[in-house]
Structure 1
């Protein structure tokens, strides 16, 4: 999570949406860069609302805008699947080694997710809070030109984005049955992504 005080902007780090590249490029310009622990670096709206918003309100900054980037849900799951194929996760419960992408997505779309498919939800990440705290600037990961143009204009910087955390290649094929199950059971994620600009 990056906080830009004078521009009144908070950039939430939605996992698997290129947040590490933006963090690397923008952290030197940020008033606050929350890099660790992962639970705070990747703070969803509810955690931002609980830990950070009250502090900003006390500093007379109630008009902070919250920005987030969402990735097309199947592509987002593909990134998680490929990330969890990495050798350092071998033999751990979260590893997807020796598992097809279809099996991974089928498990994700089920009610009781095993450890390897327990990767959260983008829709839940940006879910508004009862007090009105919500993402006000929502971008599609696939629209990098718009993200970059917005940040350069808002922050007055020129961005050179590095490629980071690139996962190994893997086959990302779904059966019609599994894709239909995902779209049915995780409709909120597809709807959230569709709302993004």
Structure 2
């Protein structure tokens, strides 16, 4: 999470949607950069609205706007899979030995799969009841997001390409992808609304 005090703007770091690159590029411009631990770095809109937003709004004398990125849902899950493969050595709680992407996607699509796998859903990160992040940009349309930030911050920005997961087979058969897309219906609907 990045807080831009003068602009009254907060970047919420959606997991697996380019947040590390954004934070790396903008940390020096932010009034506060919360990058560790992960629960604080990836504070969702619910946490922001209930805890962080009211506090910083009171200190700054006005409400802050929120901005975040959202990745195409199936591609987002592919990124999680690649991340888990790379992170397997350091994360014994999520062993990935011999787990294909098809199996990973199938596990995610099961009832309770997102929470059981510790991944969650993007819509739960970006929406809190009737409230949602003020500006959500599609990760796939990164230039529009950068243009928005440049306008808000009044400077030109360059984004590094970092935290790139390994290239692996993330193919799904059409039927498997259809099952996954149905399971991700709420994320799909939000993504289509952007």
Under a length normalisation based on structure 1, what TM-score does the superposition of the two structures give? 0.90
Cα separation, partners in 2 of 1:54 and 1:116, compared to 1, 3 Å: closer
| Structure 2 partner of 1:34 | 34
| Structure 2 partner of 1:9 | 9
| Structure 1 partner of 2:139 | 141
**Which ranges in structure 1 are unaligned for 5 or more consecutive residues?**
none
User: SS state of the match for residue 138, structure 1?
Assistant: strand
Q: How many residues align?
A: 194
Higher-helix-fraction structure:
2
Aligned-pair CA distance for 1:35: 1.2
| Structure 2 partner of 1:69 | 69
Aligned-pair CA distance for 1:13: 0.2
Distance in 2 between the 1:176 and 1:11 partners? 35
**Which ranges in structure 2 are unaligned for 5 or more consecutive residues?**
none
Cα separation, partners in 2 of 1:154 and 1:87, compared to 1, 3 Å: closer
Deviation digits for residues 16-58 of structure 1 (CA, Å, limit 9, x no counterpart): 1111111011111111111111101000011112220121232
- 1:17-166 map, 5 Å: 17-86=17-86, 88-89=88-89, 92-113=92-113, 117-129=117-129, 132=131, 134-166=132-164
Contact 2:67/2:133 (<8 A) preserved: yes
Contact 2:81/2:104 (<8 A) preserved: yes
Which residue, 162, 171, 177 being the options, matches 2:169? 171
Aligned-pair CA distance for 1:112: 3.4
Contact 1:108/1:118 (<8 A) preserved: no
User: SS state of the match for residue 3, structure 1?
Assistant: strand
Deviation digits for residues 50-81 of structure 1 (CA, Å, limit 9, x no counterpart): 22012123225443111010000111001110
Cα separation, partners in 2 of 1:51 and 1:114, compared to 1, 3 Å: closer
Distance in 2 between the 1:22 and 1:191 partners? 25
